[in-house]
Chain A
Amino acid sequence: MGAFDNVLLTVDEAISDLFGQWNVHTTAIVGLFVGLVAYQISTRRDPDTHPLLLARQAQASAVRHEGESAVYRSQAAPHGMPLNAGLNVKDPGASKWSRGRDGDLRDIWRQAVAGVQDDGDTKGATGRLLTVLGTENVTEHALADITRQINLIGQHVANQGGNRVAIYLPNSVELLVTLFACAFYNMTAIILPFDQPDDAVLSMLRRSAADTVVTAPGSFPFDTVVKNYPSLRQLVWVVDEGSSHMDWNEVPQGTGGSVNVSTWQDIVGDYPVDAGRDLPPYEGQKDPRDITVFWQAAPGTTEEMVRFTAANLVSAVAAQIFAIPTAQRMGPSDLFLPADSLANTHTLALTLAALYSNASVAFNSVAVGANDLAVATRGISPTILVATPAALLKTHQETASQLSSLIARNLHWLQTRDLTQKGVMPVASLLTRYYDRLRPALGGTPGKLRLVFTAERVGAASPPLSSAVLSDLRVYTGARIIYALTAAKVAGAAAQTGFYDYRVFDDAHSHFGAPLTNTEILLKDTAEHKTTDSLSKGEIIVRGPSVAGNEAALGVVGVIRDDNTLAYL
């Protein structure tokens, strides 16, 4: 035997020795090993989006001006191209490839009534309009009936000389109807935030020079307004069914002699059933009028009045539709619930986007300001929700306090890992069954909710949401969350986080993602914060078709992070 054979013999003996030690523990460990590898392979999923798309979410302009940062735009709105200005409305019979109009509010309602136009399974499907009263009473409004109300209310108010119509209502179908009535009958809509002190209401009416008010009894200080605001010509009460037997047309003696008072129900009821079935035709319609809204900053400060053109608003709606990947856009199978005030243009733009996408929309007057999502979603199962940061934070705290057990915390960790490491939404599995009991009760059917919109309001002292809280909420609700930056002079949002962005950073206030397709953002130097070649920071300036006056300084200092997302400094 040579030396080589000896080596082989030694190796052979060593290996035999090693595996000769095989025992029951070895089998157990190997079993675990195989189990781990099998688990990894079986749960392996492609990330929802390519991770590098999240690594640089906005594109910077190659040239910047002295004293400001580069201009940042959405990846979907390249520099040198016009920003997304409208809905690309194609009139019936127009070529599929022609460029559509930007459209306005009227086109949104026409689309809601007409149903889905694209060929496919859902062609012709329309959404539904629901009002939620209490926990069980859900009323559905036929779209034809809403069209009739739009026509009758619009004609009535316009015939009585209404020109500037203030809407002082909670989230309701009537608010939406009045808004569309103003659009179709050539009046200026003024949306007042609901539930304000008397003097605030009076001041807002004065500043907006309203001549007509549509409101609900009990919340509107009629006597005070009539006494102190002589320009008021017309008032429409939206009366509950329960109190419609009372004579609301009667004006108290000595007050309001010049005010024409009527009720919504009378206006709609007095006309024959056939009246007002058809919307005014598109041909020969007048240019759309402005929409005035009031931005509530921190409590105790005067509301800022902002006039948006119809083009501003429609651009905001279009950008919200485009901000969602095609496969996940709102559609007839969705139920949209705004649990934030429609007086916020962000909520309004999203609601209009839902209508334009033929999603069903539900209104719940309790929803606003209640800050309790479980209450707001009672009675229905929304798939898309607009919520305030305060309400989300409350949900987070309540749910987090229930997740104290070791198993729950580990399941939470596993699901968070899906989001942050694999870039996928956690899916329901045998493992998570236990966890489901601890989820917050949002809506009647768990697991329906798929998307939550929420927004930081500049200067309005809304509580900050960190990226860790947002990630927790994604796990709790099983829905994606989009966190936007909104400001007084920007209809809709100025910037918002990406649909597929689940990353968690060490931050107290999450970033706001990239600009939408209708905004561009730059940072102007302030005394303390100046843009350098290595870091862009300064006061946030937003430009674009959704900005009142096309450009607005937000008055807060921002920074562009390494992934080209915008954050507060």
Chain B
Amino acid sequence: MDYVEQRMAQEAAKPAVAADSSSLLTPLNLLILGLFLYTAYSFFKPQPPAALPKEEPAVVFTTFTPRTLLPYNGENNAPVYLAVRGRVFDVTRGRNFYGPGGPYANFAGRDASRGLACGSFDEDMLTKDLDGPLDTLSDLGRDELEALQGWEDRFSEKYLVVGKLVPVGDE
């Protein structure tokens, strides 16, 4: 409290600075003017319209043969594709299932129609001859075709169709 009283007395003892009181260019005025101008600037500064980052470019629909589909098996971070009845699905999002080491890894980069229809993930479900005609599935029964349809519907819902599969020589 002593200090406050002492300072009050000090300030009171100062001579009145009448000459200074009407000047515009005092440090205080400049400071407040600067703040004012900055605020006005930030209020009125034109801002460009909001923008979103550019979308991923669309995947180009491609015609595959069994041979050109083969590299898309998910190894070395490649995308995982598989074909069902001529339609090639991008199942990369399901890499845990269809990618290397997954339970369905055999289907990656292959025509999976017969395997899905028969509910078997074995190697012998795949068409061996990559240069031959596509599997026509003509020997399958009604239940198996129904199962295949179910798979196809699920794939269509979940995954993108990125191409079609045709036999070699037909592209």
**A residues engaging B (CB < 8 A)?**
12, 16, 18-26, 29-30, 32-33, 36-37, 40, 51-52, 54-56, 60-66, 69-70, 417, 420-421, 503, 505, 533-534, 562-564
Cβ-defined contact, A417 with B44, below 8 A: yes
Which residues of chain B are within 8 angstroms of A54 by Cβ–Cβ distance? 49-50
Are B160 and A63 closer than 8 Å at their CB atoms? yes
Residue numbers in A under 8 Å from B13 (CB-CB): none
Among A20, A36, A503, A563, contact of B17 (Cβ-Cβ < 8 Å): A20
Is B57 part of the contact surface with A, judged by Cβ < 8 Å?
yes
Contact status of A63 and B59, CB under 8 A, knowing A18-B28, A21-B26, A23-B23: yes
Q: Nearest-CB distance from A180 to chain B (Å)? A: 43
Complex contact B28–A563 (CB within 8 A)? no
A22 touches B43 (CB 8 A): no
Question: What are some 25 contacts across the A-B interface (CB < 8 A)?
Answer: A21-B26, A22-B28, A23-B22, A23-B23, A23-B29, A25-B26, A29-B29, A29-B32, A36-B39, A55-B49, A55-B50, A62-B160, A63-B59, A63-B60, A63-B161, A64-B58, A66-B60, A417-B46, A420-B49, A421-B47, A533-B57, A534-B54, A562-B51, A563-B52, A564-B55
Chain A contacts of B49 at CB under 8 A?
Answer: 51, 54-55, 420, 503, 505, 563
User: Which residues of B are at the interface with A, using a C-beta cutoff of 8 A?
Assistant: 7, 11, 17, 20-24, 26-29, 31-33, 35-36, 39-40, 43-44, 46-47, 49-52, 54-62, 160-162
Q: Is the CB of A70 within 8 A of B58?
A: yes
Residue of B nearest to A33 (CB): B36
Cβ contacts under 8 Å, A55 to chain B:
49-52
By a CB distance below 8 angstroms, the chain A residues around B51 are 55, 562-563
The docked-state distance in angstroms from the alpha carbon of A19 to that of B51 is: 45
| Neighbouring B residues of A24 by C-beta, 8 Å | 21-22
B26 touches A23 (CB 8 A): yes
Please list the 7 inter-chain residue pairs (A to B) with the smallest Cβ-Cβ separation, ordered nearest first: A533-B57, A70-B58, A51-B50, A64-B58, A21-B26, A21-B28, A55-B52
Contact A64 B22 (CB under 8 A): no
Q: How far is the CB of B159 from chain A (nearest CB, A)?
A: 10
Cβ contact within 8 Å between A33 and B26: no
Residues on the B chain within 8 Å of A19, using CB: 28
Q: Is the CB of B40 within 8 A of A25?
A: no
Closest Cβ of chain B to A58, distance in Å, is 10
- Pick from A23, A32, A505 the residue with the most CB of B within 10 Å: A23
Residues of B within 8 A of A56 (CB): 52, 55
The CA of A562 and the CA of B52, in the complex, are separated in Å by 8
Taken together as a complex, chains A and B put the C-alpha atoms of A96 and B41 apart, in Å, by 54
Indicate if the CB atoms of A33 and B43 lie closer than 8 Å: no
Q: Which chain A residues lie closer than 8 Å to B62 at the CB level?
A: 66
B29 / chain A contacts, CB cutoff of 8 Å = 21, 23, 25-26, 29
A63 to B62, CA, bound (A): 10
